[in-house]
């Protein structure tokens, strides 16, 4: 069994032409990477899509929170 209780890992990504960093637990990075592969998108493109969606929310969460919520919703939809 892989370790799911791991501290966040910071990675740099590029969104809309600017670089930023996101700290996510490895489990979320794995879910995000798998989703990007299924959608045949680069990881940065998927994160940019999530970023654009979160900015449309009435009360946009931070980017890392938005990514975690997106991953949870994606996993829930697959059940």
In a domain, 62, yes or no: yes
In a domain, 36, yes or no: yes
Q: What domain range includes position 70?
A: 26-78
Per-residue pLDDT tens, the chain, 79 aa: give them.
567 889 999 999 999 899 999 999 999 999 999 999 999 999 999 999 999 999 999 999 999 999 999 999 998 887 6
In a domain, 71, yes or no: yes
In a domain, 59, yes or no: yes
pLDDT of residue 79: 65
Return left, alpha or beta for 55; rule: phi > 0 is left, psi -120 to 50 is alpha, else beta: alpha
| Cβ atoms 9, 26 nearer than 8 A | yes
How many folded domains does the chain comprise? Answer: 1
pLDDT of residue 3: 79
pTM (predicted TM-score): 0.90
Integer angstrom CA distances of residue 71 from 15, 17, 18, 46, 74: 18, 23, 23, 11, 5
In a domain, 7, yes or no: no
In a domain, 32, yes or no: yes
């Amino acid at each position: 069994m892989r370790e799911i209780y791991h501290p966040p890992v910071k990675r740099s990504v590029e969104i809309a032409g600017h670089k930023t960093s996101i700290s996510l637990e490895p489990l979320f990075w794995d879910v995000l990477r798998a989703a990007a592969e299924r959608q045949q998108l680069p990881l940065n493109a998927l994160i940019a899509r999530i970023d654009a969606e979160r900015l449309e929310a009435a009360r946009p969460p931070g980017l890392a929170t938005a990514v975690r919520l997106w991953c949870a919703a994606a996993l829930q939809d697959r059940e």
